[in-house]
């Protein structure tokens, strides 16, 4: 085969200028935006409409990391047994509680978010730390999330367990922020390599991107938290100690995290005192609409990291209501991007999930997989987000309204059964409702592409074309600048043009 060697300057610039914006970021040089993982919200006390605790998270991984909605039953274990986690083995406990949550198929032992049979919910975000990490001798963050659900009856127990695990085993590869909540309490634990600090969120709204936020006040933490930072030279005295500034690496605070946090607070501030699960769902779908940060292809914004992104592989909103039985505590679960998907209520007492929610592997499209069904809807919308996303949302509205009406009826009946002592029948009723609604959501996701086409998808794509062309024109100048800087850097050394100059 004949090989053609074009002029790298002209071809590199031409490629960048002709690429669709959705692909632009894949072909420009790597511009470091390192801390762009998950986004999590905790609303508690007087901030919520019903006095409940709300915990919402977008799970942002690699674009095609297929998720399972995984259920693990309560289990008993032999004395002196151990459990193999992602990297290491640790002693097992006598009994592990039942839980349900989002798991990256068979690739991970742990989970990224979920709820257990006692109504304890958990979520976590990566956060960089300057404290040394343990590598393959430490704990994966998803290990800790699962261990919380398997071993804890309250959020406070979860906080204490995180502290113990961090001090004994340490984190493997990154610092973490853990959100742990039950119907009575909501906590945030920020954990570096072997040191941690925790705050209880009693009232109001707390948000985290991918950086530590605890300063000089906390409720629980490592005994030597301050002394260690002084010893390491991260602050000169205990009086100057600030957890986030001391335990974070250079560059703190990080714009990617601050923009998301500020946007969420902006959206929720007017609603404090009346925040509901629906409010958190809407926030988790946000791409800075109506602001100067918005980008016409919002999932591939080249300048600003959005709350909902093309890498959002699942989303969850936990609604933890004081005064209700633990069987009725609930997480609202969404596969793939929440701006194109739908939240389905899943109760803490369910005893299994439909088979399609346990199918599918990363980077291997599977027609039998619920996650891939929702991912296909997302990919379709990303062809023309401004034209197709409103259409998809409209098609979900009827389902959402139907589920909400039925949910209220089911919960009233389940509560009556539980108060009457018929737990078995109540759990069966809630479980059947969850299974039916999950399957209906899956089937609707399979049908959505055809419904969009039949209901005007082509017309909306044509309507969106001028906007898309305008977008290409508006980004051409930026592409030119980026290409020029990249090529100048790449070929700045005439003696070795094939290497980056450092």
The residue range of the domain holding 202 is 39-365
- Both tokens of 327, joined, read 């069987």
Q: What is the CATH number of the domain that holds 173?
A: 3.60.60.10
d(CA 311, CA 300): 10
First and final CA of the chain: distance in angstroms? 35
Q: 23-82, pLDDT tens digit by residue? A: 333 333 233 344 789 999 999 999 999 999 999 999 999 999 999 999 999 999 999 999
Has residue 499 been placed in a domain? Answer: no
Which whole-number Å values give the CA distances from 216 to 222, 226, 468, in the listed order? 14, 10, 47
Q: What is the pLDDT, as a whole number, of residue 35?
A: 72
- Both tokens of 366, joined, read 């599977």
- Both tokens of 221, joined, read 């933490």
Has residue 474 been placed in a domain? Answer: no
The answer to whether 479 and 24 are in contact (CB under 8 A) is yes
Has residue 272 been placed in a domain? Answer: yes
The answer to whether 178 and 139 are in contact (CB under 8 A) is no
Quote helix, strand, coil % in the chain, to nearest 5.
45, 20, 40
Q: 157-183, pLDDT tens digit by residue? A: 999 999 999 999 999 999 999 999 999
Q: Is the peptide bond before 82 cis (omega within 30 degrees of 0)?
A: no
Closest C-alpha among 196, 66, 64 to residue 129: 196
Q: 217-266, pLDDT tens digit by residue? A: 999 999 999 999 999 999 999 999 999 999 999 999 999 999 999 999 99
Has residue 230 been placed in a domain? Answer: yes
Has residue 395 been placed in a domain? Answer: no
Which class for 415: exposed (0-12), middle (13-18), buried (19 or more C-beta within 10 A)?
middle
Has residue 492 been placed in a domain? Answer: no
The answer to whether 123 and 112 are in contact (CB under 8 A) is yes
Q: How many domains does the chain have?
A: 1
Has residue 471 been placed in a domain? Answer: no
């Amino acid at each position: 085969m004949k090989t053609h060697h074009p002029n790298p300057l002209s071809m590199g610039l031409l490629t960048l200028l002709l690429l669709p914006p959705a692909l632009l970021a894949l072909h420009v040089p790597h511009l470091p935006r390192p801390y762009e993982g998950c986004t999590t919200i905790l609303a508690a006390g007087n901030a919520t409409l019903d006095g409940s605790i709300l915990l919402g998270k977008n799970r942002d991984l690699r674009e095609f990391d297929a998720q399972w909605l995984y259920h693990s039953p309560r289990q008993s274990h032999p004395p002196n047994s151990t459990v193999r986690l992602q990297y290491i083995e640790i002693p097992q406990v006598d009994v592990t509680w039942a839980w349900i949550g989002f798991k990256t198929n068979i690739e991970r032992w742990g989970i990224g978010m979920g709820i257990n049979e006692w109504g304890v919910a958990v979520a976590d975000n990566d956060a960089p730390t300057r404290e040394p990490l343990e590598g393959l001798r430490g704990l994966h963050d998803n290990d800790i999330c699962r261990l919380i659900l398997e071993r804890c009856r309250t959020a406070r127990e979860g906080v204490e367990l995180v502290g113990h695990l961090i001090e004994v085993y340490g984190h493997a590869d990154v610092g973490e922020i853990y959100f742990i909540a039950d119907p009575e309490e909501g906590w945030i634990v920020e954990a570096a390599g072997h040191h941690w600090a925790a705050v209880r969120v009693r009232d109001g709204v707390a948000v985290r991107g991918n950086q530590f936020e605890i300063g000089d006040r906390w409720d629980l933490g490592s005994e030597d938290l301050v002394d260690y930072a002084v010893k390491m030279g991260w602050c000169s005295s205990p009086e100057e100690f600030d957890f986030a500034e001391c335990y974070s690496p250079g560059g703190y605070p990080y714009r990617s995290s601050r923009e998301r946090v500020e946007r969420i607070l902006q959206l929720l501030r007017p609603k404090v005192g009346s925040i509901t699960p629906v409010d958190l769902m809407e926030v988790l779908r946000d791409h800075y609409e109506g602001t100067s940060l918005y980008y016409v292809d919002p999932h591939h914004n080249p300048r600003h990291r959005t709350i909902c992104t093309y890498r959002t592989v699942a989303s969850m909103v936990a609604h933890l209501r004081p005064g209700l039985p633990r069987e009725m505590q609930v997480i609202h679960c969404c596969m793939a991007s929440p701006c194109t998907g739908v939240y389905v209520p899943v109760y803490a007492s369910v005893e299994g999930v439909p088979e399609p929610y346990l199918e599918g592997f990363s980077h291997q499209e599977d027609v039998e997989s619920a996650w891939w069904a929702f991912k296909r809807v997302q990919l379709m919308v990303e062809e023309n987000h401004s034209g197709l996303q409103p259409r998809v949302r409209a098609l979900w509205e009827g389902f959402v309204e139907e589920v909400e009406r039925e949910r209220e009826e089911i919960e009233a009946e389940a509560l009556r059964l539980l108060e009457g002592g018929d737990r078995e029948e109540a759990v069966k009723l809630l479980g059947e409702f969850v299974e039916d609604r999950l399957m209906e959501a899956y089937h609707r996701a399979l049908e959505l592409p055809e419904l969009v086409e039949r209901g005007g998808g082509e017309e909306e794509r044509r309507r969106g074309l001028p906007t898309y062309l305008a977008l290409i024109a508006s980004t051409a100048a930026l592409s030119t600048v980026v290409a020029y800087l990249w090529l100048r850097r790449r070929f700045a050394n005439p003696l070795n043009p094939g290497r980056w100059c450092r």
